[in-house]
Chain A
Amino acid sequence: MAVPKRRQSKSRSRKRRSHNAVKPLELAHCPQCGTAAPTHVVCPNCGYYQGRTMVEVEG
């Protein structure tokens, strides 16, 4: 079976992983209550979406 001849250096591993970073979520603020949430979703805080309340939030 094929086996690696050499242990990979830290540099080589890290160079490979240089593109693996996770980007932060692009959040938008709800126009009604200002909560940050992903775009194109119902506001998790007030249930607002595109001009009307989609989900009634208790309290």
Chain B
Amino acid sequence: MRGRKLGRNATHRKAMFRNMACSLISSVRVDEDDPQAPQVPGRIVTTVPKAKELRPYVEKLITMARKARVHAERAREFGTTAERDSDAWRTWRESDKWAQWAAATAPALALRRRAFQLLRSNEAVDVLFDELAERFEDRPGGYTRIVRLAKRRLGDAGEQALIEFVGERDRTRTRQRSAPLVVEDEPESDATPAAADETETAEAEDAAASETEGGASDEEKSEQQ
């Protein structure tokens, strides 16, 4: 079989990934009043191998939601805002527009049902298709991030990691990808330290900027609480 077995049989594994994906996706929408609400939205902590296996599972779901978005958008022009069973709704339901709307929505609905097969939770499917699809509209894959944690799990000392949706706490690029340009008319020994100094100052600035951003977000969080 493809991937890790994780010490489980097929059904156990399937159920586990369903639960994990559901937890990860539902954690995006935080209910503030709930005492058991996730501390950080859009993140779960698990072991490294489980996180790595969960990643394709969740990313395929998001791709499904993104594809459905196009169809939903197209269906909107044939749709109606009238309340169900109202007179306006009835006339719409009997007009050609309904047939066009139904034909346009069908692929989106099919994708939604496929996602529901994998999650078995209406709440998670709603979050997936309403929030995450919009959030990752322009991102061609790579929706999640796995970061290892220093603390081993109590009991079996399993290596822990967090898996979360990208978009928040992203890495700011501090270093230039290409080597700094060396000006030809200057001797190389002079040019290189100067360029290095420049990159260092840029790094320092970036670090300072990210720190202030972090501070601002902290304040926002405390205000929300």
Chain A interface residues toward B at CB < 8 A: 37-38, 40-44, 49-56
Could you list some 30 contacts between A and B, CB below 8 A? A37-B150, A38-B150, A40-B148, A41-B147, A41-B148, A41-B150, A42-B147, A42-B148, A42-B149, A42-B162, A44-B149, A44-B151, A49-B147, A50-B171, A51-B171, A51-B172, A51-B174, A51-B207, A52-B169, A52-B170, A52-B172, A52-B210, A52-B214, A53-B169, A53-B214, A54-B162, A55-B40, A55-B162, A56-B40, A56-B221
How far, in angstroms, from A52 to B129 measured CA to CA in the complex?
29
The answer to the question of B218 belonging to the interface, with a C-beta cut-off of 8 Å to chain A, is yes
Would you call A41 and B174 a contact (CB within 8 A)? no
Chain B residues whose CB sits within 8 angstroms of the CB of A53 once the complex forms: 169, 214
User: In this complex, which of B169, B210, B221 has the most chain A Cβ atoms within 10 angstroms of its Cβ?
Assistant: B169
- Shortest CB–CB separation between residue B48 and chain A, in angstroms? 10
Chain B interface residues toward A at CB < 8 A: 40, 147-151, 162, 169-172, 174, 206-207, 210, 214, 218, 221
A contact patch SS: loop
A-B residue pair count with CB separations less than 8 angstroms: 41
Chain A residues whose CB sits within 8 angstroms of the CB of B207 once the complex forms: 51
How far, in angstroms, from A55 to B50 measured CA to CA in the complex?
20
Known A-B contacts A51-B171, A51-B172, A52-B171; A41 and B149 likewise in contact (beta carbons under 8 Å): yes
Chain A residues whose CB sits within 8 angstroms of the CB of B172 once the complex forms: 51-52
New A-B contacts (5) at CB < 8 Å, excluding given A41-B150, A52-B169, A52-B172 = A38-B150, A49-B147, A51-B210, A52-B210, A54-B147
Chain A residues whose CB sits within 8 angstroms of the CB of B151 once the complex forms: 44
Chain A residues whose CB sits within 8 angstroms of the CB of B148 once the complex forms: 40-42
How far, in angstroms, from A52 to B148 measured CA to CA in the complex?
14
How far, in angstroms, from A33 to B172 measured CA to CA in the complex?
19
A39: nearest chain-B partner, CB-CB: B148
Chain A residues whose CB sits within 8 angstroms of the CB of B162 once the complex forms: 42, 54-55
- Shortest CB–CB separation between residue B199 and chain A, in angstroms? 14
For B169, give its contact among A38, A40, A41, A54 (CB under 8 Å): A54
How far, in angstroms, from A29 to B171 measured CA to CA in the complex?
19
How far, in angstroms, from A7 to B187 measured CA to CA in the complex?
73
How far, in angstroms, from A42 to B147 measured CA to CA in the complex?
7
Chain B residues whose CB sits within 8 angstroms of the CB of A41 once the complex forms: 147-150
How far, in angstroms, from A4 to B150 measured CA to CA in the complex?
45
Leading 6 A-B pairs by shortest Cβ distance? A44-B150, A41-B150, A41-B148, A37-B150, A50-B171, A52-B169
